[in-house]
Amino acid sequence: MPRKLDWIVSGWALLAGILTFLIVLVTTINTAAFGADKIARLFGENVAGLAGYEDFVRLAISAVALMFFPYCQRQKGHVAVDLFAERFSLRTQIFLERIILLLTVCVALFLAYWMTLGMISAYEDFASSPILGWPNWPFYVPGILSLFLWAVVALMQLRRKP
């Protein structure tokens, strides 16, 4: 795999990890506020949670969910059925791997196409989060980029000589 693509895939996964950390941090803060509110109510006080917490988490997870796929593909960390395939000849195993990589490219591009249509629809409908009012369509972009990157990684693996 080209070094530049490897760098992009690793950086993309790192960005996904940072966003995941932010999701956990915001969830922890909101949970602590919920607990603090229960205690404060005993004294007639109130502690508010984070406004728009659910909006942020929903939108961030929708972006992060696919961002790990290219890195996982690069590491060949995807689900593999080795229980019965390891008994096949090396030639058959290579053939199966090639078919699976080709299907992966097709599936990733198919999903990218439909996500692009979904993003266009969200943009045209002015879809936004209920509390924060953030537009939904920009949160499709990381998923679409991730799907294209996933397809490129699988394509590079497919082009590689066995």
DSSP 36-74: HHHHHHHTT------TTHHHHHHHHHHHHTTTTHHHHHH
Stated pTM of the model = 0.86
What pLDDT, on a 0 to 100 scale, did the predictor assign at position 40?
Answer: 82
What pLDDT, on a 0 to 100 scale, did the predictor assign at position 122?
Answer: 96
What pLDDT, on a 0 to 100 scale, did the predictor assign at position 6?
Answer: 94
Cα angle 54-58-61, degrees, rounded to a multiple of 5: 135
Place of tokens 């699988």: 154
What pLDDT, on a 0 to 100 scale, did the predictor assign at position 18?
Answer: 97
70: its two tokens: 């290219």
What pLDDT, on a 0 to 100 scale, did the predictor assign at position 42?
Answer: 83
What pLDDT, on a 0 to 100 scale, did the predictor assign at position 1?
Answer: 72
**Which residues of the chain register pLDDT less than 50?**
none
